[in-house]
Structure 1
């Protein structure tokens, strides 16, 4: 896979749980179909009920449900059994479904996890779906895993930052600017602290590996996890400098206290760092910034992540629709996915709730009717793409390390571990895992 994680959240036991799927055709459903109706080899006009599952905010749920209604209206023999939930709950449930061979026919995949599921045999190869003229071959080739396409990208996405423009302007603080450097980002935080009220913070603290990796990559030191997980590359000088700055920020109360940071929950009106009014900036993607704008209508703007000499952040597809290998309705599932990606009526229904539609014809059809909150996602993408670096999800087998990275840095935030100890622990475990994976591949 040519991409390399933008989300700090991972599943502690994902690899171990998914490993159960390789133990034969058993499981909770005893090999029964995970969708109602006839199998792939039956009458194509026979009634089919596809199980479909996705994650996100409520606005995405409603759009997805309406899209399924439209499809059934055009294809009366196909109905849906939908299940949807928030991000955290979704990725906690999926491994259990995979282990019991109960994955839905159609499921939402994310760039942070698709390699893990694909390499363990739970996702169907979708290379036979004809997307000529819809998605360029280079994009599709970059998304392949071991030469196969396990998810159809449904949108363009990018990582950037949202900021409370209204509050920053009211406080007389200079706003973030496109292509700002890391030094400018840190200076913004220091300068804003002096003008913001007590208990309001310019930026939040950080405990996830991917946010640091943007820094390391931007300064030309490469990704942390390399060669499909067989090489570990954590630059100590940059690590100590980056987190040393955040240690300074904790001492000077430029970032929130650790207990506040641990209680943050994105897109919750009371607990979201920005929507709650506690923090002036936070990370956002094309697909998520609309939900934040809905919580703070007319108050926010966007900027790309800080950049180093090599660039910063990423801008490419990260949201996919996949098909379970256990599905008895693969053809019907594939037909729905192709329609979802290519049909203008579908695009008019789900809009930008998954990001910017991957097919230009679909986006051009909906662009005139987009609300300001939806155009904000396009602005984020356009702002991020010029300096974007490759998207870098964790390699298969690294989910527990990613989780332990966060736990280790949480200990630093709470003053339970020194930065030197944290680096040693993270580096030791990363090198040991890379060595193990390298030996097992020989």
Structure 2
């Protein structure tokens, strides 16, 4: 996810060959009556078994490039499996997560849905996702990856890619103003000092870095310093280090006053991957968060201008690099086996792999990546570069635990208020910390 939307995660795709195919003619030239009789219950008058016609709803988020590639992949599947058609629905990140809870409440989630590591535990806890443990991924996905993704010993999402979070930067503008380019494995101290130094060289109206108001940004900082993640043990443990919290947000308070980050009003108007409103593509901010899957969209807006580096690090490491994006099956699907078959196909079919490219990050299936590698464009190679830059120091991806959605929203609301000068950092900490501790106690008690 982007720096603004760190679904830290994060944050993968899949499919399986459909088993229901038409059987051959049972009769043959010699009229094998025994075979005909054995298959009479499953055959039509012509002696041919026909697969049931199925329409699978599928829902995902992403940029236009992902939308177009996914629609082509669905068309390819229908060409190979004539009885299966799709009802696709796709949208931007924010709209997706605003709509999905409504669909979940009415039990109308489509058969197949894209899922993110930041939210999957929540939907599993509510019983809204199908168990996918019976999909055989041997030889496709590393067994350790599968084990790390299991929730309560079961698999609820098929990983689509190896993803990583990094930072994209505007190479020519930094060079134009004599600002050193970000370097691999920079520390948080170096990152913050780089921003101060860059501010001194940039003209008015341009900013070295963006603001940080969501919980994911701070969680990266806290874990990089060797502390526990904010949430762990399925939400039963909660830890918000006050000293680190105050240090981190007082730094950003300083940055707002010094115009190192954009004012809150300007930041609120940013819209990632929009030609005019993207913070970096618009030329306003010199850096922004990017993942292996999202950086290609930024490169399309700024061809040849995008450089990438890993997240800032601390003594324990920094950033993350792992599977964060999945395809899941709705627990209310009327066609769960057809949906599962499609999931395995999605990550194993070579033609589908060529069609999908790196629109969801580096393909989880190494055979698919080998097929793609010789044909990758510069924008596609940037995704691999983010992963390669990040993997050495990467920490695990920590998602929000089930039951913490309101806390995540409250965190963003409180820190946004601080950014607008409408609240103090300490009072925000007190409110956020108390709410988190209460949720952890509730989860631990099983109530």
Is 2:188 the counterpart of 1:187? no
8 Å CA contact 1:8, 1:406 repeated in 2 = no
Q: Please give the alpha-carbon distance, in whole angstroms, between the structure 1 residues aligned to 2:279 and 2:222.
A: 25
Q: How far is the alpha carbon of 1:423 from its aligned partner?
A: 1.3
Change (3 A) 1:210 1:44: farther
1:433 alignment partner in structure 2 = 439
2:292 alignment partner in structure 1 = 286
2:306 alignment partner in structure 1 = 300
Q: Please give the alpha-carbon distance, in whole angstroms, between the structure 2 residues aligned to 1:416 and 1:131.
A: 51
Deviates more, 1:150-159 or 1:424-433: 424-433
What is the correspondence of 1:395-410 to structure 2 with a 5 Å cutoff?
395-410=401-416
8 Å CA contact 2:4, 2:214 repeated in 1 = no
Q: How far is the alpha carbon of 1:9 from its aligned partner?
A: 7.4
What is the correspondence of 1:109-258 to structure 2 with a 5 Å cutoff?
109-258=115-264
SS in 2 for 1:158: strand
Gaps in structure 2 of 5+ consecutive residues: 9-41, 43-48
SS in 1 for 2:321: coil
Cα deviation 1:78-100 (Å, max 9, x = unaligned): 11111111111111111111111
Q: Please give the alpha-carbon distance, in whole angstroms, between the structure 2 residues aligned to 1:102 and 1:423.
A: 37
2:358 alignment partner in structure 1 = 352
8 Å CA contact 1:48, 1:77 repeated in 2 = yes
SS in 1 for 2:387: helix
Q: Please give the alpha-carbon distance, in whole angstroms, between the structure 2 residues aligned to 1:249 and 1:297.
A: 29
Q: Please give the alpha-carbon distance, in whole angstroms, between the structure 1 residues aligned to 2:253 and 2:148.
A: 38
2:36 alignment partner in structure 1 = none
SS in 1 for 2:155: coil
Q: How far is the alpha carbon of 1:8 from its aligned partner?
A: 5.3
Q: How far is the alpha carbon of 1:44 from its aligned partner?
A: 6.7
Q: How far is the alpha carbon of 1:434 from its aligned partner?
A: 1.4
Cα deviation 1:276-309 (Å, max 9, x = unaligned): 1110001111111111111111101100000001
Q: Please give the alpha-carbon distance, in whole angstroms, between the structure 1 residues aligned to 2:371 and 2:446.
A: 50
Q: Please give the alpha-carbon distance, in whole angstroms, between the structure 2 residues aligned to 1:372 and 1:417.
A: 44
Q: How far is the alpha carbon of 1:263 from its aligned partner?
A: 1.4
Cα deviation 1:237-256 (Å, max 9, x = unaligned): 11111111111111111111
Q: Please give the alpha-carbon distance, in whole angstroms, between the structure 2 residues aligned to 1:7 and 1:278.
A: 19
2:64 alignment partner in structure 1 = 58
Q: Please give the alpha-carbon distance, in whole angstroms, between the structure 1 residues aligned to 2:119 and 2:418.
A: 27
Q: Please give the alpha-carbon distance, in whole angstroms, between the structure 2 residues aligned to 1:187 and 1:101.
A: 50
Is 2:87 the counterpart of 1:86? no
Return the match for 1:275 from 274, 281, 290: 281
1:34 alignment partner in structure 2 = none
8 Å CA contact 1:232, 1:430 repeated in 2 = yes
Is 2:264 the counterpart of 1:265? no
8 Å CA contact 2:7, 2:399 repeated in 1 = no
Q: Please give the alpha-carbon distance, in whole angstroms, between the structure 2 residues aligned to 1:96 and 1:256.
A: 34
Q: How many residues align?
A: 406
Q: Runs of at least 4 residues of structure 1 off by over 6 A? A: none
Task: State the structure with more CA Rg.
Answer: 2
Cα deviation 1:43-63 (Å, max 9, x = unaligned): 771211111111111110000
SS in 1 for 2:55: strand
TM-score by length of 1: 0.90
SS in 2 for 1:109: strand
8 Å CA contact 1:6, 1:391 repeated in 2 = no
Cα deviation 1:336-358 (Å, max 9, x = unaligned): 11011111111000000010000
SS in 2 for 1:373: helix
Gaps in structure 1 of 5+ consecutive residues: 11-41
Q: Please give the alpha-carbon distance, in whole angstroms, between the structure 2 residues aligned to 1:282 and 1:421.
A: 28
- Give the CA RMSD over aligned residues: 1.5
Q: Please give the alpha-carbon distance, in whole angstroms, between the structure 2 residues aligned to 1:433 and 1:330.
A: 33
